[in-house]
Amino acid sequence: MGFLLSLVLVIAFVALLLTWVLRRYALSRSLIDIPNARSSHSVPTPRGGGVAIVVSFLGALPLMVGGGGLSWAAAVAMLGAGAFVALLGFLDDHGHIAARYRLLGHFSASAWALFWISGLPTVNFGGVALDLGWIGHLLALLYLVWMLNLYNFMDGIDGIASIEALTACVGASLIYWLTGHGDMIWPPLLLAGAVVGFLYWNFPPARIFMGDAGSGFLGIILGILSLQAAWISPSFLWVWLILLGVFIVDATFTLGRRLVRGDKVYEAHRSHAYQFASRRFGKHLPVTFAVCLINMLWLLPVALGVALLDLDGFACLVVAYLPLTYLAFKFNAGEVETPSK
């Protein structure tokens, strides 16, 4: 345990230092995000800092396996899928990859991960254990692809993607510990450590952005962690879906509205609820802080109810998502932006 805890702390420092290096590199190579009509920021800012999360987390996985904190199958799933998604994002950050090729890469990376973690386990729905077979594996594939893309969509203001990952990982680790699964806490804590190091530079006002390499990586790793946990206990899948509720609801609500309207959903836009909220408040910090509070004070207690009190996971998911859906509607998620918004 001492070795694994030390590893988490060391990785936080490595990510902190590596983000500084990447920031200097981005400035020297003019890898700068210049504000435009579809941006949520107003100051030119270096991008690509999420590579620090990728390198520090993936580099530590073999050490975590050696320390007994992770199986080789789970490590290979995250190493292969995470590295490939990050590489696609890195190349897209430095040039442009057509949407169809990015999507093909996303499906390939997700299929790799599912092969190593054995797909979707039995799902507990309404108190009934359901083995969905190949349909479940297909749903798990779509879930991973959606997770990595929605995380990309939601990484639009300072600190929000980092705070979401940090609170979800710490919340899941707390639940594992309280339910007697302390051996499961290390992978999410390792990811939290890598994110903390980057967050120092990304906290509002951000001195570097995550970029597609980091956001897509976080999305697929969080998805893998949730499916891997479901093999230990079906309730843990519901726990992760609840903890990630802010991103899932905002992204899905926004996508749904844009699809109905006939928009090209792969084009950049500023119509997520969090983007409208940041413009309404005039700053990123209040919105990022609000996401942190919602995750800690609302979603975590609901998730604890599922894990500790054996409450129905789907029913609690609905309860958790209802106020989030209201907030998405209140802040115009998916609507066409107008000068007044």
Binding site for Mg(2+): what residues are annotated? 152, 212
Rounded distance between C-alpha atoms, residue 324 and residue 153, angstroms: 17
Rounded distance between C-alpha atoms, residue 218 and residue 104, angstroms: 18
- Whether the CB-CB separation of 272 and 333 falls below 8 Å is answered with yes
Rounded distance between C-alpha atoms, residue 209 and residue 212, angstroms: 9
Strands 123-125 and 45-46, sheet pairing: unpaired
**How far, rounded to the nearest angstrom, does the alpha carbon of residue 274 sit from its chain's CA centroid?**
15
| DSSP string for residues in 102-150 | HHHHHHHHHHHHHHHHTS---EEETTEEE--HHHHHHHHHHHHHHHHHH
Rounded to the nearest 10 degrees, the angle between the axes of helix 186-202 and helix 211-232 is: 160
Q: Which amino acid would we find at residue 221?
A: I
- Whether the CB-CB separation of 171 and 243 falls below 8 Å is answered with yes
| DSSP string for residues in 279-300 | HHHTSSHHHHHHHHHHIIIIIH
- Find the helix or strand (DSSP H, E) in which 225 lies: helix 211-232
Rounded distance between C-alpha atoms, residue 263 and residue 113, angstroms: 31
- In this structure, what is the dihedral angle of CA atoms 91, 258, 294, 50, given to the nearest 10 degrees? 0
- Whether the CB-CB separation of 86 and 51 falls below 8 Å is answered with yes
- Find the helix or strand (DSSP H, E) in which 46 lies: strand 45-46
DSSP 8-state symbol, 180: T
**DSSP-assigned beta bridge partners for residue 283:** none
DSSP 8-state symbol, 324: H
Summarize the annotated binding site as residue ranges: 152, 212
